[in-house]
Amino acid sequence: MIYFDHSATTQIFPEALDAYVKTSQKVFANPSSLYDLGSQADTLLAQARKQIAELMGVFSSEIYFNSGGTEGNNWALKGTALEKRKFGQRIIISAIEHPSVYETAKQLADLSFQINLTPVDQHGFVKIDELEKLLDKDVILISIISVNNEIGSIQPIKEIAQLLENYPTIHFHVDAVQAIGKMAKENYLPKRVDFATFSAHKFHGPRGVGFIYLKKGKRLAPLLAGGGQENNQRSGTENVPGIVAMAKALRLTIENQNEKSRHVLALRDTLGQFLKFYENVCLFTNLTDTFAPHILTFGVKGMRGEVMVHAFAEKQIYLSTTSACSSRKKMPASTLQAMGIPKNIAQTAVRISLDESNTVTEVEQFIEIFSQLYEKFANVF
């Protein structure tokens, strides 16, 4: 079995799983409880928060735990809308956002907020000059994905942050789900960023847990009211085992990050250079350092992406059609359409997403299987 779908989810680290199991068995009390076992859970919660904050280079008070990227993105947008509605009702997102941002923005549009899409160029990068044209006193939030989940384009977060130095009242949110552990922190969390969202299952932690960076002094209206957990910002009994496991996974992910990224990049480039030789292959990811090292998206002309995914699955090689959130809906890649790629070409897109656990041998096996499948389907070209 070859797993090339790490952008959809990753396998939990054994050490993180062990931390989850031990915490679940030994410190199972509610961290809000007053007795000793509850205090132990609360201590573990504080330790995990401190560890994550140190790894991120921020204050412990700026880390808030939640259920993952979708909740974090919803909170950044809706929390800003509720908190700043009296100051303005314009929100800017890019045309290549994850569905958890795009669909949230649509909900806010139904509530009379004005949503502006800032366009991207033919390679999938936000146009800074077009974004600047949208800025005025009514804008309350800009939300930009750091690494596009469909093709891996690294968005110019640092340049946008520099632009927003002149607009201190605008909240700046970054969806950093695909970035953490893959690149230097300054590429997705420069000082001007006010909120950033992260999801544990993207870096070998458990599913259903994540965190949001919320800059000190910035305010988000809470989405969940109740017992006042997370400093009254996110009510609900904390998932202590999941949070402890997430902190462990993040530490292991960041260890030797540069070496891991070089390994993954070498695998991506080997695959990309191989695919470039095929006349009927469209390579949507550029083999440059402006694209994340772990994502490679391509299509075979005349072959719908889901057909290719199933063909590889029969050989126990697991890929996806650009986004796990839309693959079962058989939707064309929204990013590719935003880049101006025709729908019939966008529908061919298949995403390989790699991890440090992948090997040269696996890449060689993929190349062999691809060659066989390409010959088998040659009659559709």
Query: Does 282 qualify as catalytic in the annotation?
Result: no
Buried b (16+ CB within 10 A) or exposed e, 125-154: bbeeeebeeebeeebbbbbbbbbbbbbbbb
Phi, psi angles (nearest 5°) of residue 322: 60, -50
**Which candidate in 325, 331, 345, 367 is catalytic?**
325
Show Cβ contacts of residue 76 under 8 Å, excluding neighbours closer than 6 positions.
141, 143, 171, 173, 195, 197, 212, 220
Catalytic residues: 325
